[in-house]
Amino acid sequence: MSNIIQLLERMGQDARLQDKSLKLKTINDTEISSDHKKLLSEGDADGLAEALKINKEIICFLIPAKEDEQESENSEETNNKSAVNQ
């Protein structure tokens, strides 16, 4: 499976592989199964995800950490002291 992952990584990094003929040549020159070659050549992302037994629906997000109440109070006190000293 690492060959297909390396190929997908390369395809994502190399803008030259947007050219259809170069992309097909690269796919055919790679040591992956003929089924995977066919799916990649056809651009069948759903079929490839199914063949690799992966979920292609990935959602990423960040949630900011909450400040501790004590840290929040300390920062407010520091801000208030700074304002008074000015």
Residue 81: its pLDDT value, please? 58
**Do residues 3 and 31 touch, judged by C-beta distance below 8 A?**
yes
Residue 67: its pLDDT value, please? 74
Mean pLDDT over 71-86 rounds to: 59
Domain ranges of the chain: 2-52
Helix runs in 14-68, H state only: 20-29, 34-42, 45-52
31-52 pLDDT tens trace: 999 999 999 999 999 999 999 9
Mean pLDDT over all residues of the chain?
Answer: 85
Model confidence band, residue 56 (pLDDT cutoffs 50, 70, 90): confident
60-70 pLDDT tens trace: 889 888 876 66
Residue 19: its pLDDT value, please? 94
